[in-house]
A and B are shown apart, each in its own frame.
Chain A
Amino acid sequence: MPEKKRDTYQEFIKGLWRDNPAFVQVLGMCPMLAVTNSAVNALVMGGATFFVLVASSFFVSSLKNWIPKQVRISTYIIIIATFVTVTDFTLQALMPVVHKELGAFIPLIVANCMILGRQEAFASRNSVRLAVVDALGMASGFLFALFSLGAVRELLGEGALFGFKLFSDDFEPWVIMILPPGGFITLGLLLLLFNWLKERKDRLVAQLDEMEIEAR
Chain B
Amino acid sequence: MKPQTPQTVNATEPGSARLVATLGFAGLLSGLIIVTVFEVTLPTITAYKAKILQEAVFKVLPGSTRLQRLVYREEKLAVVEEVGKEEEFVFGGYNPEGALVGYAIPGSGPGFQDIISLLYGYLPIQRKVVGMEILESRETPGLGDKIYKDAAFVANFDALSIDPEIVAVKMGSKSAPNEVDAITGATISSKAVVRIINQANQQWLQRLKIQQGE
Contact = CB atoms under 8 A, between A and B. Distances in A.
A100 B45 CA distance: 12
Contacts of A86: 33-34, 37
Contacts of B37: 85-86, 89-90
A71 B19 contact: yes
A15 interface: no
A73 B3 CA distance: 9
A70 B5 contact: yes
Contacts of A66: 22
Which residue, B6, B18, B34, has most C-beta atoms of chain A within 10 A? Answer: B34
B23 interface: yes
Contacts of B30: 78-79, 81-82
Contacts of A94: 44
- Chain B facing A: main interface SS: helix
A75 B141 contact: no
B142 interface: yes
A93 interface: yes
A70 B45 contact: no
B206 interface: no
Interface residues of B, number: 30
A47 interface: no
Contacts of A92: 41, 45
A72 interface: yes
B22 A68 contact: yes
B27 interface: yes
Interface in B18-54: 18-19, 22-23, 26-27, 29-30, 33-34, 37-38, 41, 44-45, 48, 52
A192 interface: no
B23 A74 contact: yes
A92 B42 CA distance: 9
Interface stretch (A1-9, A111-119, A123-131, A173-181): A173-181
B70 to A, nearest CB: 26
B45 A74 contact: no
Interface string B2-16: 011111101000100
Interface of A: 66-75, 77-79, 81-82, 85-86, 89-90, 92-94, 96, 157-158, 173, 175, 178-179
Closest 4 CB pairs of A and B: A82-B30, A93-B41, A93-B44, A74-B1
Given A68-B18, A82-B29, 17 more contacts: A69-B6, A69-B8, A70-B3, A70-B6, A70-B19, A74-B4, A75-B22, A75-B23, A78-B27, A78-B30, A79-B26, A82-B30, A85-B34, A86-B37, A92-B45, A175-B142, A179-B141
13 contacts: A68-B14, A68-B18, A69-B7, A70-B3, A71-B19, A78-B26, A82-B33, A82-B34, A92-B41, A94-B44, A96-B52, A158-B141, A175-B143
